[in-house]
């Protein structure tokens, strides 16, 4: 349970971090809160040559409103999002999601960017930011690019990040006054990773009616169809068609989504 040997650097600027990560032997790896990478290092599932700690780069820790979006720096912790106290054009959704992640001691260090880069199919930000229609701002040796959440998560533990790139921020679109948010994790124990997640965003003001099923085996299932909010049978059928497999195994997902839909249905 002790990590293999590695080197460590804590650059103060994004450019310095990108320069360190540009090593072409692939042995350099970013680290943020180390709340997912730490267990992997201790179990020796990961054995990087160099860890580049990006948490001391001020611009990655900003939370700001930019136009019609909330922009959250990659190194913002779950606890900071949980506690609020920042301008929030989504009406409290990030705080609610963050409060349900792991335990306070983990939330104090774990970050939104680290969670997305790790891309555990059961991770809360993977599900919630997909439902919110967020964009991931990626910084790399060739500048910045923006990737829609639905394209960013490619599979279980797989993202669209290319070698040398890091997540710089997440852009969450503002919700309209009438927006409703439903979010349900099925867990046996409080704070653990989800066994089945349902997330629903109903925002008639912006013409959004999205159901997301996550914590299955791969990328989240996204269903953009307003009829599915009212028609449970059609919804179950649509989810079953996308998840496939054993009907017993997909039941928790149908239940999670049904409960999330109930939260948005007045």
Partner 1 sequence: MNQHARTISLTVNGHAVTAAVAPRTHLADFLREQRLLTGTHLGCEHGVCGACTILIDGEPARSCITYAVACDGRSVTTVEGLDADPLAAELRDAFSAEHGLQCGFCTPGMLVAARDVVQRLPDADDAAVRVAMSGNLCRCTGYVGIVNAIRRVLDARKPRPE
Tell me how far apart the alpha carbons of residues 250 and 55 are, in angstroms, rounded to a whole number.
38
Binding of residue 36 to ligand FAD (CB under 6 A): yes
Q: Is 72 exposed, middle or buried (0-12, 13-18, 19+ CB in 10 A)?
A: buried
State which of positions 91-110 bind partner 1 (CB under 8 A). 102-106, 108-109
Give me the half-sphere count of Cα atoms (radius 13 Å) on the Cβ side of residue 220: 36
Residue 87 CB, nearest distance to partner 1 (Å)? Answer: 22
Tell me how far apart the alpha carbons of residues 110 and 77 are, in angstroms, rounded to a whole number.
5
Binding of residue 18 to ligand FAD (CB under 6 A): no
Tell me how far apart the alpha carbons of residues 5 and 115 are, in angstroms, rounded to a whole number.
24
Cβ atoms of residues 124 and 185 within 8 Å: yes
Applying CB under 6 A, among 93, 95, 98, 124 the residue interacting with ligand FAD is: 124
State which of positions 32-71 bind partner 1 (CB under 8 A). 34-35, 38-39, 41-43, 51, 53, 55
- For the record, the structure tokens of 44 come out as 């020796």
Q: Report what 119 binds from partner 1, ligand FAD, none; CB cut-off 5-8 Å by kind.
A: none
State which of positions 168-227 bind ligand FAD (CB under 6 A). 191-193
Binding of residue 191 to partner 1 (CB under 8 A): yes
Q: How many CB atoms lie within 10 A of CB 5?
A: 7
Tell me whether residue 2 or residue 143 sits nearer to partner 1 (CB atom): 2
Binding of residue 186 to partner 1 (CB under 8 A): no
Q: Is 160 exposed, middle or buried (0-12, 13-18, 19+ CB in 10 A)?
A: middle
Q: Report what 2 binds from partner 1, ligand FAD, none; CB cut-off 5-8 Å by kind.
A: partner 1
Binding of residue 123 to ligand FAD (CB under 6 A): yes
Tell me how far apart the alpha carbons of residues 142 and 74 are, in angstroms, rounded to a whole number.
19
Q: Report what 92 binds from ligand FAD, partner 1, none; CB cut-off 5-8 Å by kind.
A: none
Binding of residue 130 to ligand FAD (CB under 6 A): no
Handedness of CA 100, 102, 104, 107 (dihedral sign): negative
Binding of residue 263 to partner 1 (CB under 8 A): no
Applying CB under 6 A, among 17, 18, 20, 33 the residue interacting with ligand FAD is: 33
Q: How many CB atoms lie within 10 A of CB 234?
A: 13
Strand order in the sheet with 208-214: 180-186, 196-203, 208-214, 221-224
Q: Report what 101 binds from partner 1, ligand FAD, none; CB cut-off 5-8 Å by kind.
A: ligand FAD
Binding residues for partner 1, per CB under 8 A? 1-8, 10, 31, 34-35, 38-39, 41-43, 51, 53, 55, 79, 102-106, 108-109, 189-191
Binding residues for ligand FAD, per CB under 6 A? 29-37, 39, 54, 74, 101-102, 106, 110-111, 113-115, 117-118, 123-125, 161, 166-167, 191-193
């Amino acid at each position: 349970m002790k990590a293999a040997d590695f080197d460590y650097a804590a650059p103060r600027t994004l450019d310095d971090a990108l320069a360190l990560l540009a090593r072409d032997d692939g042995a350099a790896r970013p680290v943020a809160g180390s709340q997912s990478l730490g267990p992997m290092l201790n179990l020796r599932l990961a054995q990087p040559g160099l860890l580049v700690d990006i948490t001391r780069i001020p611009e990655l820790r900003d939370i700001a409103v930019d136009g019609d979006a909330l922009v959250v720096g990659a190194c913002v912790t779950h606890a900071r999002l949980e506690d609020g106290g920042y301008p929030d054009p989504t009406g409290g959704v990030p705080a609610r999601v963050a409060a349900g992640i792991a335990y306070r001691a983990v939330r104090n260090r774990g970050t939104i960017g680290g969670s997305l880069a790790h891309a555990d199919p059961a991770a809360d930000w993977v599900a919630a930011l997909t439902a919110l229609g967020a964009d991931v701002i990626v910084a790399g040796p060739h500048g910045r690019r923006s990737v829609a959440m639905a394209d960013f998560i490619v599979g279980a533990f797989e993202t669209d990040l290319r070698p040398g790139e890091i997540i710089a921020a997440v852009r969450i679109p503002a919700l309209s006054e009438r927006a409703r948010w439903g979010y349900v994790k099925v867990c046996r124990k409080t704070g653990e990773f989800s066994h089945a997640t349902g997330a629903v965003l109903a925002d008639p003001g912006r013409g959004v009616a999205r159901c997301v099923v996550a914590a299955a085996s791969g990328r989240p299932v996204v269903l953009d169809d307003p009829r599915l909010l009212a028609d449970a049978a059609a919804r179950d059928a649509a989810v079953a068609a996308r998840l496939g497999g054993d009907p017993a195994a997909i039941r928790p997902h149908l239940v999670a989504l049904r409960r999330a839909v109930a939260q948005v249905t007045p």
